[in-house]
Structure formats: C-alpha cells, structure tokens
C-alpha cells in the first residue's frame, strides 16, 4: 500500500503509464482499457471505449491509499 497526499496523487496522475487516473471530486479513479469492461461490475465507458475503473477515496487524514498493484504504473 502506498500512502499518497494530494500532491502525490497529482504526480501519480501525471506520470502514470498504461492507465488513466483522474479526479472525481475527491476520489481518485484509476481507469484501464479493457474490452470486457462492458460486462464488468466496475466497467466504465471512457475515451470512446470500455474499460474498468477502481475508485480510491481519501481517508479522514487526507491520505489516498494506493494498492501496490498500481505502483508499477508509477514511474
């Protein structure tokens, strides 16, 4: 688990590879192109194609807890 502040999330959004992270109010949404997103519970239509999205909410301390599976996209 990688704990990020608001500035860390901004850096993650700018430097992420192979995924499309973006803000939705105070939630970080990580979207990845996936043709099976059409039938997936986490499916989302974005950029004229289907994908899956994972929503990460801020905790009471102002920290977003990024799962380690997304750290490899952070370069």
pLDDT band per the 50, 70, 90 thresholds, residue 69: confident
pLDDT above 70: residue 74? no
| 58, 23 Cβ separation under 8 angstroms | no
Mean per-residue pLDDT of the chain: 93
Question: For the segment 13-42, what is each residue's pLDDT rounded down to a tens digit?
Answer: 999 988 999 999 999 999 999 999 999 999
Please state, in angstroms and rounded to a whole number, the distance separating the CA atoms of residues 45 and 8.
26
pLDDT above 90: residue 75? no
pLDDT above 70: residue 2? yes
12, with CB counted inside 10 A (0-12, 13-18, 19+), is buried
pLDDT above 90: residue 48? yes
């Amino acid at each position: 688990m990688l704990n990020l502040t608001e500035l860390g999330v901004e850096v993650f959004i700018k430097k992420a590879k192979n995924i499309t992270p973006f803000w939705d109010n105070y939630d970080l949404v990580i979207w990845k192109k996936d043709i099976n997103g059409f039938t997936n519970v986490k499916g989302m239509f974005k950029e004229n194609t289907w994908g899956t999205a994972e929503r990460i909410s801020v905790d009471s301390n102002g920290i977003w807890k990024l799962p380690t599976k997304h750290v490899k996209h952070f370069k």
